[in-house]
Structure 1
Amino acid sequence: MRIDWDVPITMDDGLVLRADIFRPDADGRYPVIMTHGPYAKGLSFQQAFTFAWSNLEAEHPDALAGSSNRYQNWETVDPEKWVPDGYVVIRVDARGSGRSPGYVDIFSPREALDYYTCIEWAGVQQWSNGKVGLLGISYYAVNQWQVAALQPPHLAAICPWEGATDYYREFTHHGGIPSDFLSQWFPPQVEAMQHGVGDRGARNPVTGVPVAGPETLDPDVLEKSRADVVAEMLARPVLDDYYRDRSADLTKVTVPTLSATNWGHHLHTRGGFDGYNAIPAEQKWLEVHGQQHWVEFYTDYGLRLQKRFFGHFLKGEDTGWADQPPVFLNVRRVDGTFAQRAENEWPLARTDWTTFHLDLDRQELTTTPPRSETSVDFAALGDGITLWTEPLSVETEITGPASAHLTVASSTEDADLFLVLRVQDPNGIDVTFPGAMDPEGAIAFGWLRASLRATDPALSTPYRPWQTYTESQPLTPGEPVGVDVEIWPTSVIIPAGYRLGVTLTGRDFTFPGEGPWPEAYGVRMRGNGIFVHTDERGRPQTVFAGTTTLFNGASLLLPIIPVSG
């Protein structure tokens, strides 16, 4: 293939971004697969993300087969697997990142406009057939939703693979609770790749040039050339225009879309479902899988799916995509395997929405309402309350979004609520599933800051409350309030003899036991991956280390799928 390094693309304000372009040897016009983001287009996947690469090598060798892997780049496609099939692969360093100068402001309107310009530039090049597709993971999926809402004329199809659509509800806050993620992720993955790090940073193993160069600037100069996203988040506890400007306007996404998401990711799960349901595109599909965050994008399973989609929309080939079901699920089993199933909609129309009660008298999770008005106190930073069902008499599938209705009080003016759905085997051992970067996660999570409990009735459903997050309503110490908690979509088939459980705490859930627990970004992962909420600037102990009271009458609304046939 032909490779053009650091190709200039001029923005509307005169700034020049740099792109690496991988093209077929033969002259002609080809469709384009593009990514645009801050992770440095020349950074080696193998060297920078050894933990993920080692996992692919050991457990998913098909992901690396058939390629020299010389051009592998974190969360983007491998050119060696796409260019021979007649695609042009383009990687663009976003403004202020990698080899592109400028001011770094992640997910900003300015960045989305730059992406629009890059798409339109690619669509009119002599080697382009005029059709541009977007395909990438995480950051490279989130900004697909954003730029698609701008409707660039040469954008022909998008496949946001484990992205997000709501900067507040998914990226910076969980249920209004500020997440530590920005503080953990931004320095090593964005700051370290900022244009001007130059000789202090990594080098492209193929070209030898600094991936964040060619200049090497003083750290104080770099600091002034990037937005302080953590400070912005901490200064903005409620949802305002800052967050709205960094969230996709899904009502304007009309391009053919394949939304691929993961059952077990505290950043990426929710947006894949929301994006699929909210966009008005006439041609849209949803795919849901498991495994760690990076796995299925690179495996033969993911590659086949992607090429069938883009072959249909960018090349006009008969790939069989015309027969693709609107929804395709990899339903999780407790042994780590999956039941693959085609569906027509999300949530599933045949769902038997079932209420499970948290019976504080009997200390059980049951479908029978409690008979008293008992209440239970727990230390907000302690282990909380855990209730289990009796062993299930029949195999039970839970697939869909869920919710909890609780009545709570706090000894302080607020309370953070962390709700976790769990499964135990007949020996009382937790069943875990790979989630995000954590090899052991629970089956579902929900969060809510009680002072941000106000919902929008027009957008809420029984199974998915929609908090506005625009107004804080502090609690009166000791006075109970009703709250509805959104539980992110999940899926699991629970065998007979196993038990379903729920844990409610005032801090991040952790699985019991001594470990050893894996670490990433300095976080010991015990069920939440790296997505924890420990920064006292957003959770001062004077407010969130009190005593929480749960009153009888609490319930879960769970999506039970009837056994077919």
Structure 2
Amino acid sequence: MLQIEHVGPGPVSPLAREEFVRMRDGIRLATDVYLPGAPVAPDAAPGDTVLIRLPYDKSGAYTYIPLIAEYFTARGYRVVAQDVRGKFRSEGEALLFVNEADDGYDTIDWIVNQAWSNGRVAMWGDSYYGYTQWAAVSSQHPALKAIAPRVTGTQLGEPVRAAAGARTRGVEWGITYLYPLTYFHSQDAYFWDLDPAHRPYSAQVEAVLAQLGSRSISYDQWYPRPVHLPRFPNGDPFDARPVPTLHTIGWWDNCAPLSWADVARIEQRPAWALNHFLRIESMDHESYYVDDAVEDRVEERTHEQLLAGLPRMLEPALAFFEVFVRGNGAPTDIPRVAWNLAGTPGMRASETWPPPDAAALELFAHAGGALSPEHPPAEPAHADWLHDPADPVPSSVANAFAFLLDAPDESALADRDDVIAFTTDPVAEDLDLTGPVRAEAVISSDGPVMDLFVRLLDVDEEGRAFRIARGQVHLRDATDAARVEVDLGQLGYRLRAGHRLRLHLSSSDAPEFIPQPGTGEDPWGATELTTNRQRLELGGDRPFRLTLTIASPGAWPAASTEPKGPTHV
């Protein structure tokens, strides 16, 4: 019998009045209304409203919405917090993503018809309740005046797909198939641990579903034959009327690639770009920060710790809403790009990202383990390693959404035979990394497919290695060598004088990403395992190239190609 934790809805906050809001098809969604002054003397006069639509229980401890609502109401906002369709107290079918556009429109329409609403609505929230904001934008309700999505993306949770005819695509997250089984199995939430040593993983899922006595429609639409239901039936959000957007991304958010993909699309649409304000913070998905005190790096934060974190989380949105909802001030009062350079205090401002003074620097990997701006190796060379699916390279944290909770030292990974390491000389002075990071590699395998993971780390004087960026790519028909590009995301990071940069290259990062079985089979349903020999080209016309964006290229040390660490040549 599997151990499955069952979590039902929490009690409605005494500060709220619960309503059941009818959607266009008759389904009623549980909706908490918070008015300023409640519960003693609620102010029911017309005012601005902040809407939060989420699947994580509007009354539960995990997202502490009552505390957030109280913070907003203290500034005079009415707050509406709603369980999305099929979740916790709401009626309907628990189906990921596809109902949020119309349900968002209908909820906003209900709000503006209430006596306590003045007809102006803003939205706020993280992750899925950031996604519901983009869905509401696509519905084009005229009352939606501003949104403040954090750590999210319009393609949140979507299984990885390859472009037609492409040999490369992304690598599938483990959470892709687990999320529909936890929060979107049915009305309540169910948690259980996948055993990474027991294959096929799909069989573990079937055992869980059998024990629960019902299936998850959200899981079944994605596995084993994906059915991609339309998320935005009214049209793409970025084809809709632009809505002023405060778009918050975390440097260490595992969902940041989805956010940056949306930023790239917005930049191609002048009307949207005009209404888009970017905020980039040194945090992860669960709002742990790189500068958190040791006592605040706890999995279960106390009531006092949650309250202490609210200003950092909510004040930027309140300042944004003051301008774009209440009309107090001008758009120029909000920085076009506000960003933190990790390792330094405070926020910086620029008109663009990357900042206008940023410049590209290319580093090349050498067979001895050096990573250097010196010209690439003239002679052909390569580095080989074995990918053993029975002993994959471990993910560095248990909870990928809370990387900064542990902020682990990853230096020991370089001691593994299946991790290739390349290291720079120490920098002579502080070096600011401010923009995109990309790797270009020629890779191949004796197996049918190959995954390449690239981690960029800051190595201090004591040898501790802290991950600052990463990317991964999946290659099919891998027996034929191919040039691949690996997007490691964006960086705003100060590398301190005396520190070095290090790359870790491998073919797995499990269980955060589903490890390849080595046979070319679907890794979620595979039963047979085999070891593959992987190859990375290093010299001649096939160098490995890392391109950084830096603010002060003169700070880079003199080039060296002396051996730096383990490679397997």
Cα distance, 1:542 vs structure 2: 5.8
Deviation at 1:175, TM superposition (A): 4.8
Contact residue 95 and residue 184 of structure 2 kept, 8 A: no
1:481 alignment counterpart: 482
Partner of 2:342: 332
Measured after TM superposition, the shift of residue 154 of structure 1 is 1.0
User: Are positions 1:450 and 2:444 aligned together?
Assistant: no
Among 368, 373, 378, the residue aligned to 1:367: 373
Percent identity over paired residues: 23
| Residue pairs, 1:399-410, within 5 angstroms | 399-410=434-445
Equivalent residue number for residue 83 of structure 2: 93
The answer as to whether partners of 1:37 and 1:140 remain within 8 angstroms in 2 is yes
After superposing the two structures, state which structure 1 stretch, 406-415 or 322-331, moved more.
322-331
SS in 2 for 1:332: coil
The whole-number CA distance in structure 2 between the counterparts of 1:190 and 1:243 is 17
- Alignment partner for residue 115 of structure 2, among 121, 126, 129? 126
> Could you tell me which of 14, 26, 29 is aligned with 2:43?
26
Q: 1:350 to 1:294 in 2, by over 3 A?
A: same
Q: Deviations over 1:380-404 (max 9, x none)?
A: 2453211001112232111222211
Instruction: Report the counterpart of residue 562 of structure 2 in structure 1.
Output: none
Assess, with a 3 A threshold, how the Cα gap between structure 1 residues 122 and 177 changes in structure 2: closer, same or farther: same
Tell me the secondary structure at the aligned position of residue 390 of structure 1. coil
1:358 corresponding residue in structure 2: 365
Partner of 2:219: 229
Aligned to 1:105: 95
Q: How does 1:462-477 map to 2 (within 5 A)?
A: 474-475=477-478, 477=479
Q: How many angstroms apart in 2 are the aligned matches of 1:243 and 1:379?
A: 40
Over residues 194-215 of structure 1, what are the superposed CA-to-partner deviations in whole Å (9 max), with x where a residue is unaligned?
43x59x99xxxxxxxxxxxxxx
Kept in 1, the 8 Å contact 2:253–2:283? The answer is no
RMSD, aligned α-carbons: 3.3
Specify the code of the residue in structure 1 equivalent to 2:59.
Answer: G
Segments of 5+ residues of structure 2 without an aligned counterpart are: 1-12, 37-41, 163-167, 192-208, 290-305, 389-416, 556-569
Distance, in Å, in 1 between the alignment partners of 2:49 and 2:240 is 22
Identify the residue that residue 534 of structure 2 maps to in structure 1: 548
* 1:22 CA displacement: 0.6
CA 1:221–1:85: 2 relative to 1, 3 Å: farther
Match of 1:323 in 2: 333
**Whole-angstrom distance in 1 between the partners of 2:115 and 2:107:** 15
Q: Is the 8 A contact 1:96 1:225 kept in 2?
A: no
Pick the aligned partner of 1:307 from 309, 318, 321: 318
Stretch of structure 1 that moved more, 135-144 or 531-540: 531-540
Q: Deviations along 1:405-457, whole A, 9 cap, x unmatched?
A: 11011001110111100110122221x3xxxxxxxxx1001010012xxxxxx
What is the rounded CA distance, in whole Å, between the counterparts of 1:329 and 1:33 in structure 2? 25
One-letter amino acid of the counterpart of residue 293, structure 1: H
Partner Cα separation in structure 2 for residue 404 and residue 89 of structure 1 = 45
Structure 1 100/270 Cα, relative in aligned 2: closer, same or farther at 3 Å? same
Alpha-carbon spacing, 1:556–1:340, altered in 2? closer, same or farther (3 Å) = same
Cα-to-partner distance string for 1:512-537 (whole Å, 9 max, x where unaligned):
xxxxxxxxxxx7xxxxxxx3334865
Q: 1:37 aligns with which of 54, 71, 93?
A: 54
Change (3 A) 1:423 1:541: farther
* 8 Å contact from structure 1 (residues 172, 182) kept in 2: no
- CA deviations over 1:345-375 (Å, ceiling 9, x no partner): 1233322111111112x32111121121101
Task: Write the distance in 1 (CA, Å) between the matches of 2:106 and 2:53.
Answer: 11
SS at match of 1:275: helix
Q: Distance in 2 between matches of 1:541 and 1:549?
A: 25
Unmatched runs of 5 consecutive residues or more in structure 1: 50-71, 202-218, 433-441, 452-473, 510-522, 524-530
Conserved in 2, the CA contact under 8 Å of 1:400 and 1:559? Answer: yes
Helix, strand or coil at the partner of 1:21: strand
Which residue of 1 is the match for residue 403 of structure 2? Answer: none
SS in 2 for 1:427: coil
Report the secondary structure of 1:78's partner residue.
helix
Judged with a 3 Å threshold, the aligned counterparts in structure 2 of structure 1 residues 300 and 172 are, in CA distance, closer, same or farther, namely farther
Letter in 2 for 1:392: V
- Inter-partner Cα distance in structure 2 for 1:220 and 1:363: 50
Paired letter, 1:278: R
Alignment of 1:169-318 (within 5 A): 175-191=169-185, 194-195=186-187, 197=188, 226-229=216-219, 232-236=222-226, 241-242=228-229, 249-252=237-240, 254-267=242-255, 269-279=256-266, 280-281=271-272, 282-295=274-287, 298-318=309-329
Contact 2:104 2:139 in 1 (8 A): no
The SS at the match of 1:415 is strand
Cα 1:483–1:137 shift into 2, 3 Å: same
| Residues 1:350 and 1:175: Cα distance change in structure 2 (over 3 Å) | farther
Q: Distance in 1 between matches of 2:475 and 2:79?
A: 46
Instruction: Give deviations 1:137-193, integer Å, cap 9, x for gaps.
Output: 1111122122212211111100001112224678899952211113444444344xx
Structure 1 window deviating more from structure 2 (3-12 vs 413-422): it is 3-12
Structure 1 distance, partners of 2:459, 2:474, is 28
**Alignment match of 1:533 (pick from 514, 539, 542):** 514
CA gap 1:221/1:418 in 2 versus in 1, 3 angstroms: closer
TM-score by length of 1: 0.73
Structure 1's 505 and 243: CA in aligned 2 closer, same or farther, altered over 3 A? farther
Q: How much does 1:270 deviate?
A: 2.4
| Aligned residues of 2:438 and 2:548 also touching (Cα < 8 A) | yes
Partners in 2 of 1:558 and 1:547 — Cα distance?
29
Residue 251 of structure 2 contacts residue 284 of structure 2 at CA under 8 Å; is this kept in 1? no
